[in-house]
């Protein structure tokens, strides 16, 4: 007896369709954020699974794996016959299976001896040592079934993912294909959201994150520095203006720099730079600056002088806010400052030492993709750091900053996404896949029960309270699964 089972997958949008049409055995997709990479990846993996084959999904981190694990279960719910929570494996009707792995540890042992018909490597540019992971662990699993591979990612500088993408452009490599797709080619993402992101990012970050370009992050960080050197040194505060001071303390062979910015005018108004003075003298100079400017905040680097000294300053009545410098926290304030220069929203003093430091200041990309910002080879960056600390009072965080994405804050992003997925799962019976965007934007009141109508990706509009359906569901894969033989399938509405 044959039984029909439905699995709902969104109909591919035009750009996804193009990719599917042009696909080869090994496929490298460089896309902007929220283009629909993971959605496409799920589509690619579900098909061979329905045909009875073993398939695999690789995520760069364990947290990303958990999210994908939940999402795939939502999609496949009707055909899952057993689930192995320890190994992240789903067995499906018809004999197919999906096994999921995270690539933050060594996977070569766990995948040895396995054979897959299709594999997806999601956010592949985030995978450390992608090339060796591919060659030593993933590629061998595709030999038995002549399996296919999908590398899906937003670019991250010029790393292994870029090298894979290049293979797809090389006419000599017949079995590789690659594409570059900006976020704007996903019709389900509002254009004004992309524009809003552009306002809050440096051009290079936007080019990478939304245009899917391979940006070379190495080299100069601050642009239009000379154009910004228009501010005048002032002697004291202007009525009605607010001020902030950034404090970068010198160590044995560098300088202590205090920078005063006029928060209201977005301009630097004073800078105090001194070398080889002991802490008591430095504290006296800071106190003098405080007495002159009465800033709302003094943002002071703590690593070099330590908490007790910060506490002492606070006890003396100075509004000191400690700043702990890490690679990530430094990158955050530097990128905010770089954006200010790029947008022409900051004016600085025409000070030769400051200008020289700003122009020399450079980024270096670490193997994991993170950026390290510093003055090149033995030069100083005290003026830059002090200015960045003071500016952090004005622009403390870039909502779409590259660093936010690259740094430890990735954990927060992952947690938020996990929470959203959990909420979606808990939403109610019969509601399997809800567009998170739609969830945020209710589309009206239900005429039956006055509940909220929400937009669902695959199931159209539906009342969140009584479940009444208001328009046509999206595409559906129909899988006819006779007994335990292979499923056949068709697509509707594509």
Provide the binding-site residues for ligand ADP, judged by CB under 6 A. Answer: 10-13, 16, 31, 33-39, 186, 188, 435-437, 457
Interface with Mg ion by CB under 5 A: which range of 34-42, 247-255, 297-305, 416-424? 34-42
Q: Give yes or no for a contact between 99 and 110, defined as CB atoms under 8 angstroms apart.
A: no
Give CA–CA dist 74/145, Å, rounded.
27
Q: Which residue is nearest to ligand ADP (CB)?
A: 36
Is 38 a binding residue for Mg ion by CB under 5 A? The answer is yes
For residue 335, which of 265, 407, 271, 270 has the smallest C-alpha distance? 407
Ramachandran sector of residue 290 (left: φ over 0; alpha: ψ -120 to 50; beta: rest): alpha
The b-or-e profile of 45-71 (16+ CB within 10 A means b, else e) is bbbbbbbbbbbbbbbbbebbbbbbbeb
Distance CA 131, CA 125 (A): 10
Nearer CB in complex with ligand ADP: 123/248: 123
- Which residue in the shown chain puts its C-beta closest to Mg ion? 38
The C-alpha atoms of residue 416 and residue 431 are separated, in whole angstroms, by 20
Whichever of 282 and 459 has its CB closer to ligand ADP, that residue is 459
Q: How many residues bind Mg ion (CB under 5 A)?
A: 2
For residues 16 and 36, is the Cβ–Cβ distance under 8 A? yes
Instruction: CB nearer to ligand ADP: give 399 or 436.
Output: 436
Q: Smallest distance from the beta carbon of 332 to ligand ADP, in angstroms?
A: 22
Binding mask 248-287 for Mg ion (x = CB under 5 A): ----------------------------------------
Buried b (16+ CB within 10 A) or exposed e, 415-436: eeeeeebeebbebeeebbbbbe
CA distance 303 to 300: 9
What is the closest distance, in whole angstroms, from the C-beta atom of residue 17 to ligand ADP in the complex?
9
Residue 13 binds which entry of ligand ADP, Mg ion, none, CB below 5-8 Å type-dependent: ligand ADP
459 binds Mg ion (CB under 5 A): no
Contact yes or no for 282/386 (Cβ under 8 A): no
The item of Mg ion, ligand ADP, none sharing an interface with residue 39, based on CB under 5 to 8 Å by kind, is ligand ADP
With CB under 5 to 8 Å by kind, the binding choice for 12 among ligand ADP, Mg ion, none is ligand ADP
Q: Is 154 in the site for Mg ion (CB under 5 A)?
A: no
State the minimum distance, in angstroms, from the CB of residue 457 to ligand ADP. 5
User: Residue 38 or 403: which CB sits closer to Mg ion?
Assistant: 38
Q: Which residues bind Mg ion (CB under 5 A)?
A: 37-38
């Amino acid at each position: 007896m044959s039984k029909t089972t439905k699995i709902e997958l969104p109909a591919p949008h035009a750009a996804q369709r193009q990719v599917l049409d042009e696909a080869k055995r090994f496929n490298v997709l460089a896309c902007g954020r929220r283009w629909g990479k993971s959605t496409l990846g799920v589509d690619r993996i579900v098909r061979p699974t329905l045909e009875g084959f073993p398939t695999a999904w690789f995520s760069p981190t364990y947290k990303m794996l958990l999210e994908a694990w939940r999402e795939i279960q939502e999609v496949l719910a009707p055909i899952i016959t057993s689930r192995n929570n320890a190994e992240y494996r789903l067995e499906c009707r018809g004999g197919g299976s999906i096994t999921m792995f995270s690539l933050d540890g060594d996977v070569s042992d766990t995948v040895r001896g396995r054979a897959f018909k299709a594999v997806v490597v999601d956010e592949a540019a985030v995978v450390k040592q992608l090339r060796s992971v591919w060659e030593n662990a993933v590629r061998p699993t595709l030999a038995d079934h002549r399996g296919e591979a999908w590398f899906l990612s937003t670019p991250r500088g010029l790393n292994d993912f870029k090298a894979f993408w290049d293979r797809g452009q090389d006419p000599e490599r017949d079995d590789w294909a690659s594409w570059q797709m900006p976020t704007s080619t996903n019709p389900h993402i509002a254009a004004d959201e992309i524009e809003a992101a552009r306002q809050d990012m440096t051009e290079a970050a936007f080019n990478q994150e939304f245009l899917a370009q391979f940006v070379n992050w190495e080299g100069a960080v601050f642009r239009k520095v000379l154009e910004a050197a228009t501010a005048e040194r002032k002697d004291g505060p202007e009525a009605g203006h607010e001020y902030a001071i950034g404090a970068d303390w010198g160590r044995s062979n560098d300088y202590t720099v205090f920078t005063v910015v006029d928060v209201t005018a977005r301009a630097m108004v004073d800078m105090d730079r001194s070398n080889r003075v002991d802490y008591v003298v430095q504290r006296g100079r800071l106190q003098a600056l405080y007495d002159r400017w009465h800033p709302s905040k003094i943002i002071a680097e703590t690593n070099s002088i330590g908490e007790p000294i910060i506490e002492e300053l606070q006890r003396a009545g100075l509004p000191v806010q400690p700043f702990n410098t890490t690679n990530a926290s430094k990158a955050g304030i530097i990128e905010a400052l770089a954006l200010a220069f790029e947008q022409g929203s900051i004016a600085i003093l025409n000070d030769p030492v400051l200008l020289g430091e700003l122009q020399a200041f450079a980024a270096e990309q670490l193997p994991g993709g993170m950026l390290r910002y510093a003055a090149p080879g033995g030069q100083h960056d005290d003026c830059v750091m002090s200015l960045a600390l003071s500016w952090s009072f004005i622009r403390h965080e870039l909502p779409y900053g590259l660093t936010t994405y690259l740094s430890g804050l990735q954990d927060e992003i992952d947690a938020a996404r996990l929470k959203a997925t959990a909420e979606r799962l808990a939403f109610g019976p019969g509601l399997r896949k809800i567009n998170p965007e739609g969830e945020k934007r209710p589309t009206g009141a239900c005429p039956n029960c006055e509940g909220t109508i929400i937009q669902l990706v695959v199931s159209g509009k539906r009342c969140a309270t009584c479940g009444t359906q208001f328009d046509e569901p999206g595409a559906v894969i129909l899988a006819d699964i006779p007994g335990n033989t292979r499923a056949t399938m068709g697509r509707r509405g594509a």
